[in-house]
Structure 1
């Protein structure tokens, strides 16, 4: 058997007629930037998430930048986040000349450990960025309470978790600003780069809308130093189609995860742990094994692709050497990074494929 990790082509064929029509409608109108499809998508995203404002942008990375720029993060400011995430989480902090301050992760959820946050707060701390890793929101009640006590902002990096819920609310409707990515391999992906920011704050929304078009207040009048951060209309058109089917796809992802867990339970493999009152978007189904390289090699020989998200925590990356962290500073993140392995995850895995992957593992 030859397994497709994400089945992106399969999904395209599933919705091909609708997607092709939507793309050609943009081509016929030639409204390639900020066309009506973008406005339609933002309205649909607001309805889906419950957030008052959904603002599309050029990528999940730019979504983080827009959030921090809108919150006026300055050089020398400190932002507390996790070292076990994609580099964009901390890279964007450093890009603005602020300082990423890392906190170790929870050994079960792999999200930031809230019990370790307060000891890292200083008079320079301005915000906390929890990451909804692999699709599961962090412990937002505890994190928000800490932020409220210390007058800090909360920016959620929900690049992997669009459609997940925390106590009945989507993680796009939590914190001061929540961000997401529509990179093609994400649970809701477009056909290129794309992202969005969400907020219930009118002033922040207005500022982020301005920042994504070079800080304009009106054409050629610039209130802020901004960026070119708009989403292409074609990407919005693709997402308008896929969002209509997304509730169904989320339910199928949940079924795939449950089937994996049932097949792999009791086999000496550390399975994903989902907190109560939380649902995951299942961007990944990640397990931990002791002899990862050997396991990956054997699975590859069986036609089963795997991936490692992420093999090196951020505090050990060369680009963050200047922060002065050492090996063993965040032992849980380091242990997990040596053991974690993602199995094929998409809504369209068949029972036969899940069985084959599970038995091979």
Structure 2
């Protein structure tokens, strides 16, 4: 079997470093926040090109607190995309604000910047682009719109650690950038974790307060805050893994290039935008026969994923937003056609060849069936 993600292979490749870091963290007994988390905040924010990093317990918490730090609340509207993991939209709703969707650009799968201005109202306070699959959204166009309308830009970079837009690391381009360290991410914890990065000292101070029960100092609560603190163990683990992220990213890009070469004549492969340094959190191909191809690959022991089969505007939980089928045709079509192939640094050229051959065989079988 070829797994969709192989976290064990990654762990074994750095086992000695991880084990030493975990034992050190255990001996320190700093289990919540602590020196390892502080060091991670400094190292990761510097890695992103930002002045401040605020570590939290999940990527969802990062989004939630970034919105709150920016002053988003009831009555406000936040523009984002419906083709994303539901956490992007949930975080907006947590603040009491209303998500307003804009369709995706079909080549990048990120928000279509040409449609943003039409979605702006007097209640719009922020734009929340998603760097989906590891490819940045078109940030210059987004920032230009934000400046002209006085809007805040919060980057959802949960899938885009190390990605670059015109040579700038994502997360540090907008006003705030939000990352997830969920285990399967390009930089993943051994549990949950997240981070907000920013260049704004006022946002940073508010974020630190909000994540720790709104405390300015112990038992002195100046804000209605949350228990969104990162565990010390996760800080220690992520510091080790951050040292390997460049090499893992280059490995992913090499895997993607092999896929591109083998699959270009078979399916629609990922399009890399001219401004983008793509980090391939997900390698998503596209085919009208997606569901049948997934079944064929599963039968041959190859795990795949679908990111994402139902756009958020069509999810039952968000029916109260009032959207319907046909409102965002590009997002809806992508949801019907994308198929995520195995993608991780440890994936071998032989495995990629096996996956590609199985996909090609599946397409041939479907063609024969249609012809018959």
Describe the SS at the equivalent of 1:274. Answer: coil
Matches within 5 A, 1:93-242: 93-242=92-241
| Structure 2 runs not aligned, ≥5 long | 360-372
How far residue 46 of structure 1 moved from its aligned partner, in angstroms, is 2.2
1:46 and 2:55 equivalent? Answer: no
Q: Which residue of 2 aligns with 1:289?
A: 287
How far residue 215 of structure 1 moved from its aligned partner, in angstroms, is 1.1
How far residue 29 of structure 1 moved from its aligned partner, in angstroms, is 1.6
Describe the SS at the equivalent of 2:126. Answer: strand
How far residue 88 of structure 1 moved from its aligned partner, in angstroms, is 0.5
The total of aligned residue pairs comes to: 359
Describe the SS at the equivalent of 2:54. Answer: strand
Describe the SS at the equivalent of 1:173. Answer: coil
How far residue 47 of structure 1 moved from its aligned partner, in angstroms, is 2.2
Q: Cα deviation per residue 1:223-251 (whole Å; 9 max; x = unaligned)?
A: 11111111100001110111111111011
Separation in structure 2 between the aligned mates of residue 154 and residue 345 of structure 1, nearest angstrom:
30
Separation in structure 1 between the aligned mates of residue 265 and residue 4 of structure 2, nearest angstrom:
24
Matches within 5 A, 1:286-325: 286-325=284-323
How far residue 206 of structure 1 moved from its aligned partner, in angstroms, is 0.7
- TM-score (norm: length of structure 2): 0.95
Matches within 5 A, 1:49-88: 49-88=48-87
Task: Say if 2:4 and 2:305, in contact at 8 Å, map to a contact too.
Answer: no
How far residue 277 of structure 1 moved from its aligned partner, in angstroms, is 2.7
Separation in structure 2 between the aligned mates of residue 71 and residue 43 of structure 1, nearest angstrom:
22
Q: Which residue of 2 aligns with 1:272?
A: 270
1:341 and 2:339 equivalent? Answer: yes
Q: Cα deviation per residue 1:241-267 (whole Å; 9 max; x = unaligned)?
A: 111111110110110011100111122
Q: Cα deviation per residue 1:96-118 (whole Å; 9 max; x = unaligned)?
A: 21100000000100000000000
Q: Cα deviation per residue 1:147-189 (whole Å; 9 max; x = unaligned)?
A: 0000000000000001100011110211000000000000000
Describe the SS at the equivalent of 1:342. Answer: strand
Describe the SS at the equivalent of 2:42. Answer: helix
Describe the SS at the equivalent of 1:228. Answer: coil
- TM-score (norm: length of structure 1): 0.98
Separation in structure 1 between the aligned mates of residue 62 and residue 46 of structure 2, nearest angstrom:
19
Separation in structure 2 between the aligned mates of residue 172 and residue 94 of structure 1, nearest angstrom:
21
Separation in structure 2 between the aligned mates of residue 96 and residue 65 of structure 1, nearest angstrom:
7
Describe the SS at the equivalent of 2:171. Answer: helix
Separation in structure 2 between the aligned mates of residue 184 and residue 317 of structure 1, nearest angstrom:
25
